[in-house]
Amino acid sequence: MKNLQSNEFAPYYENYIKLVPEQDIVKGLKQQKEELLHFFKSIPVFKHEFRYAEGKWTIKDIILHLIDAERIFAYRALRIARNDGTALPGFEENDYVVFANANDREYESLLAEYEIVRNATISLFQNFSETELLRIGTASNCSVSVRAIGYITLGHELHHKNVILERYL
């Protein structure tokens, strides 16, 4: 279903979208949830707060970043799907990580929250009509469609999984 048009997402999201195979968004969200939960559970405890370089995020930081970003992406999708013409602001991910205090949390609580948020995103996208999925709004000063937000969510998580595999494990 991908066949996204260039006006459906900002160019900087293309790298995320490219990571996602041609598939139904809901199917992808469900499959990815299971795969990422398994992946995160397989990471050794001593790596949970590991930083591969000074000032870099820990795996706990990354998980909470994924949760925060998914909530924001879902909120944008909801607003746009409901034909809210308000231009939606961006967010500074590094500021979120600093104030989220992920490393003060239990790893299991992060995984539980990830699963809850993903289930909410699945429910949201399951109930969008084709018309709503194609609706375009503005977020971070760029045009974006509801369906592109679904693929961005999937690709964003794949990107961070790849970073973890390359730099943390």
Burial label, 149 (beta-carbon count in 10 A; 0-12, 13-18, 19+): buried
Domain count of the fold of the chain: 1
Residues in the chain: 169
For residues 142 and 105, give the distance between their C-alpha atoms in angstroms, rounded to a whole number. 34
The verdict on residue 36 lying in a domain is yes
User: Is residue 2 predicted with pLDDT exceeding 80?
Assistant: no
Residue 39 in domain: yes
C-alpha span between 107 and 103 (Å, rounded):
8
86 three-state secondary structure: coil
Average pLDDT of every residue of the chain: 96
pLDDT at 23: 83
Q: Which helix (H) or strand (E) holds 29?
A: helix 25-41
Q: Is residue 123 part of a domain?
A: yes
* pTM recorded for the entire structure: 0.95
Q: Tell me which residue range forms the domain holding 143.
A: 6-167
**Within a domain: 56:** yes
Which uninterrupted H or E stretch holds 64?
helix 59-81
pLDDT digits (tens, 9 = 90+) for 84-96: 999 999 999 999 9
Contacts of 90 (CB under 8 A, 6+ apart): 139, 140, 141
In a domain? residue 54? yes
Q: Does a structural domain hold residue 1?
A: no
Question: What confidence tens digit (pLDDT) does each residue in 133-163 have?
Answer: 999 999 999 999 999 999 999 999 999 999 9
**pLDDT above 90 (res 82):** yes
Question: Nearest Cα to 38, choosing from 122, 161, 168, 167?
Answer: 161
pLDDT at 3 over 90: no
> Residue 100 falls within a domain, yes or no?
yes
Could you tell me if residue 93 is inside a domain?
yes
Q: Is the pLDDT of residue 127 over 70?
A: yes
What confidence score (pLDDT) does residue 1 get?
57
pLDDT value at position 157? Answer: 97
pLDDT tens digits, 17-42: 999 998 899 999 999 999 999 999 99
CATH of the domain at 56: 1.20.120.450
